[in-house]
Amino acid sequence: MQSRARAAGHSIHPVLIVYPLGLLTTAVVFDILGLITDRPGFAVAAAYTMAAGLIGGVVAGVFGLVDWLSVPKGTRARRVGALHGLTNVVMLMLFTVSWFVRNGHDNWEPGWLAVVLGLVGVLLSGIAGWLGGELVERLAIGVHEGAHPNAPSSLSGWPASPPSDRARG
């Protein structure tokens, strides 16, 4: 089942998710480095990195929602997609709270609560990623119909179906 939100022949959601995941995980790494080294620059970097990750997460989520709305109701894919989305929403909420907890402190110092919220958020992002993989690899959501190892480029304008199928159609 192909994605509803596409650009240049590919689903937009999986292209976008790498940015918030990388930014939010990096923010947690900066937090830990800041706590270990007691250097305030890490806390400031974590706060700005986290803010960018949250914005990216919302944008990626919008495209994920567009795709989820096209999944047939009553299917396992719809249920897994709902759980995937809910897990991501909770993860983004944890990072949002983590950001606000540090907001009033000098140099954006996170404190342990903010760091723990971020660590739980990273754990949830791994679970959400596995659920997203289940949607694509097991339930064929976002996969071109007729996809195969020798399919032409998405930019070619040809369908993914094998050449023998195109000749018949």
The pLDDT tens digits of the residues spanning 3-36 come to 777 777 778 899 999 999 999 999 999 999 999 9
- Structure confidence at residue 166 (pLDDT): 52
Residue 104 neighbours by CB under 8 Å, 6+ apart:
none
- Structure confidence at residue 165 (pLDDT): 58
Distance CA 29, CA 35 (A): 10
The pLDDT tens digits of the residues spanning 59-89 come to 999 999 999 999 999 999 999 999 999 999 9
Q: How confident is the model at residue 157 (pLDDT cuts 50, 70, 90)?
A: confident
Which of 113, 44, 114, 57 shows the shortest CA–CA distance to 88?
57
- Cα torsion angle, 88, 79, 148, 126, sign: positive
Q: How confident is the model at residue 116 (pLDDT cuts 50, 70, 90)?
A: very high
Mean pLDDT of the chain: 91
